[in-house]
Structure 1
Amino acid sequence: MSLSPVYITGTSIFLPNNPVPSEEMEDYLGFINGKPSKSRKIVLRNNGIETRYYALKKGGEPTHTNAELAAEAIRGLFKDDPSGMTKIDVMTSGTSSPDQLMPSHGVMVHGCLPELGAIEVISPAGNCCAGMHALKYAYLSIRSGEAHRAVSSGSELMSLVMRSGVFEEEVQHLIDLHENPYVAFKKEFLRWMLSDGAGAFLLEDKPAATGLSLRLDWIDGVSYAGEMDTCMYQGGEKDEEGHFKGFKLYDSEGLIHESVFSVKQDIGLLSDNIVPLGGRKVKEIFERRGLTVDDVDWFLPHISSEFFKSKIFEVMEVLGRGIPYEKWFMNLSRLGNVGAASIYLMVHELLHSGKLKKGERLLLLVPESARFSYMFAMLTVV
């Protein structure tokens, strides 16, 4: 059976409301225990994020659901040809912050897009890699000949679980116990890291009739969960030995007093492992595919913090795969860390920047600290 080529023929993004500068973050997320955060400036100084987007009004009132963010990005693919929405075979939607446990995120996005009609819908679960998993399913659907046109999306709505109200019961409980009423850094850290937004790609088995398209040459992924502990998590907690306890094992009082549904990060585990493990996979991919640094014209790494930029460069350089900074393209400082949507936002911006030339190749890297997974892809401008 011959395999069909796959092209990204359209991109679209949706960023809710206006950009939020760092000094206004607590106007939207609120103050924990009524006091400004002591860690905010420290975290922001290291992550390099200057503005981000929230699906919130000042004071914390929501303006969108996650499904609505993704639907707006998908609808944007067809702003010049709304009838194109009736010609989609498959829709895939990845996120780490669905609006509910059930139904799946994808079908809720589909529910916001009745104009798509009855189609196949896939909902990859996970964290930052979920958007790339959605892309891979769409890619494989077309590559196999099972579909001719597919849409993939990545979206996040993390701000709702970063609002101060999520932590107030825990803080009050600590006060009642005469303990220090401060939320653990592993919980507060991510309040200053994560943003809201969505991006979408239109994939087809032939390039667009006009303008540039991106041929999707390959997508590779790997999980190191077999050798690594849980690092970023929500809906559970780690004990002192590192064992993970999911929310179903808590009683109602424990869920509230320990703010189990806040998003947490094991900072030490993250810092020691996220870059070296990614470097291991880079080495394997380059060797297996016979690639050199000269084969990469643009490098689009999704990183949560500018802190990791030099570390990624150093690891790749040691491996003999150091990609010069002039080939890097990121928008973290302006858009923030939008998880599963971030790679969509970067590709969209670069594609519409006027910088790309036919024949150039883009290497995408998306790491996921949840339990250390990585996704890579190579695109060629056509």
Structure 2
Amino acid sequence: MYTRRKPLKPPQSIHITALGSYAPTRVVTNNDLSEMVDTSDAWIQSHTGIRERHIADEEELTSNLAYRAIDDLLAGYNLEASHIDGIVCATATPDYPGFPSVACMIAEHFGITGPALDVSAGCTGFIYALEVARAMIATGSMKNALVVGAEKLSSVVNWKDRNTCVLFGDGAGCALLEPSEEGGTGFIDTLLKAEAAGTKALTIHPKNHAIEMDGRAVYSFAVRTIGATILALVERNNLSLESIDWIVPHQANRRIIQACSKRYGIPEEKFYMNIDRYANTSAASIPLALREMDRAGLLKKGQNILLVGFGAGLTYGGTLLTWTH
């Protein structure tokens, strides 16, 4: 029999308390791709900053990548799956058309009985999913929430299209959001936006199920919106760029970050980049980067962290938070 949930008291603050990630073991280098299409390692690196990417095996599904990332979180922070109340998963590559949502697959796999839902906002998906989870915790719909970004982009790449196949990789990352009645800043502010008129600039074609992209349009959109999002979040919270310790962007193209840095006067060293080893993993790129930073000891208590993304839709957005552990 269904038992009605008792609403939770709104928390004073909400924090990221744990991180996990997973990248498939198979690594495809630029030289490997040069044997498949007319390209070269030098061209790919100079135009994108990418050296290699992780590609899932055919039998590995998006949900499998998510499971491995969550296993990493549970093991790394000595947690049990029963600790997790709800799942919000950002993905553009569900296992199969018509299959249950990836979040539901995760919930079933780990025996989680709370809310489970997918968010589809392209490469900005993880930013959107963070805000959905934060809001659900704040209103008492979840005690805590595991936010997952998982993508098997190799399943929607045209491996004969040299303009797009060099850009993408597979992977998954996750973050556990938990409330605190004791305060501490945690999440400060989130900005979510979309420019629907640009939908055709970046999309998965409905017939051949392959990524299609207007590279110039996406480049211009990304440089403009990354910079505008960063400045908006900083200014409306009465902060300065100097007070931001790390900017963790969606990892799409190093040249985009360099152009944004130059145009908006944002020091390039504030941006954390690992695109050289993972390529563009869409909604998984930011949590993959956060977990790598956490392992390297780069995330420290009290730091101001700004996450920023852009992607198909066209969507964009950012989240400003203080690291609290």
TM-score, L = length of structure 1: 0.75
Shift of 1:66: 0.6
For the Cα contact (< 8 Å) 1:274–1:372, is it kept in 2? no
For the Cα contact (< 8 Å) 1:91–1:151, is it kept in 2? yes
- 2:149 aligned partner: 154
More deviation, 191-200/153-162: 153-162
Shift of 1:163: 5.9
1:330 maps to 2:273: yes
- 1:197 aligned partner: 171
Paired residue for 1:263, among 211, 216, 241? 211
Q: What does 1:1-382 align with in structure 2 at a 5 Å threshold?
A: 2-25=10-33, 31=36, 36-38=37-39, 42-56=43-57, 62-79=58-75, 84-102=80-98, 103-111=100-108, 113=109, 115-162=110-157, 164=159, 187-206=161-180, 215-225=186-196, 227-235=197-205, 247=206, 255=207, 260-317=208-265, 322=266, 324-368=267-311, 370-382=312-324
Residue type at the aligned position of 1:298: W
Shift of 1:2: 4.8
> Structure 2 regions of 5+ residues with no counterpart?
1-8
- How far apart, in 1, do the equivalents of 2:229 and 2:204 lie? 26
For the Cα contact (< 8 Å) 1:15–1:196, is it kept in 2? yes
1:121-151 Cα distance to aligned partner (Å, 9 max, x none): 0100131111222222221222223322211
Shift of 1:229: 4.6
SS at 1:274's partner residue?
helix
Residue type at the aligned position of 2:48: N
For the Cα contact (< 8 Å) 1:224–1:372, is it kept in 2? yes
- How far apart, in 2, do the equivalents of 1:83 and 1:336 lie? 30
SS at 1:101's partner residue?
coil
1:91-141 Cα distance to aligned partner (Å, 9 max, x none): 111111222232323223334x1x333221010013111122222222122
- How far apart, in 2, do the equivalents of 1:328 and 1:272 lie? 19
SS at 2:162's partner residue?
helix
Shift of 1:216: 2.4
- 2:6 aligned partner: none
- 1:183 aligned partner: none
Residue type at the aligned position of 2:52: T
1:314-345 Cα distance to aligned partner (Å, 9 max, x none): 2222xxxx2x2232211111122111000001
- 1:173 aligned partner: none
SS at 2:131's partner residue?
helix
For the Cα contact (< 8 Å) 1:13–1:200, is it kept in 2? yes
For the Cα contact (< 8 Å) 1:39–1:189, is it kept in 2? no
Shift of 1:24: 2.0
Q: How many residues align?
A: 314
Identical-residue share of aligned pairs (%): 24
> Structure 1 regions of 5+ residues with no counterpart?
57-61, 168-186, 208-212, 236-246, 248-254
Residue type at the aligned position of 1:374: Y
Shift of 1:38: 4.1
Shift of 1:191: 0.4
Q: 1:72 to 1:118 in 2, by over 3 A?
A: same
Q: 1:17 to 1:2 in 2, by over 3 A?
A: closer
Shift of 1:40: 7.1
Shift of 1:361: 0.9
Residue type at the aligned position of 1:290: N
Measured on the aligned residues, the alpha-carbon RMSD in Å equals: 2.6
TM-score, L = length of structure 2: 0.87
Residue type at the aligned position of 1:23: N
- How far apart, in 2, do the equivalents of 1:83 and 1:2 lie? 24
For the Cα contact (< 8 Å) 1:122–1:134, is it kept in 2? no
- How far apart, in 2, do the equivalents of 1:50 and 1:198 lie? 19
Shift of 1:272: 2.9
For the Cα contact (< 8 Å) 1:196–1:338, is it kept in 2? yes
Residue type at the aligned position of 2:191: D
Residue type at the aligned position of 2:102: H
Shift of 1:70: 0.8
For the Cα contact (< 8 Å) 1:44–1:192, is it kept in 2? no
Residue type at the aligned position of 2:235: E
More deviation, 147-156/266-275: 266-275
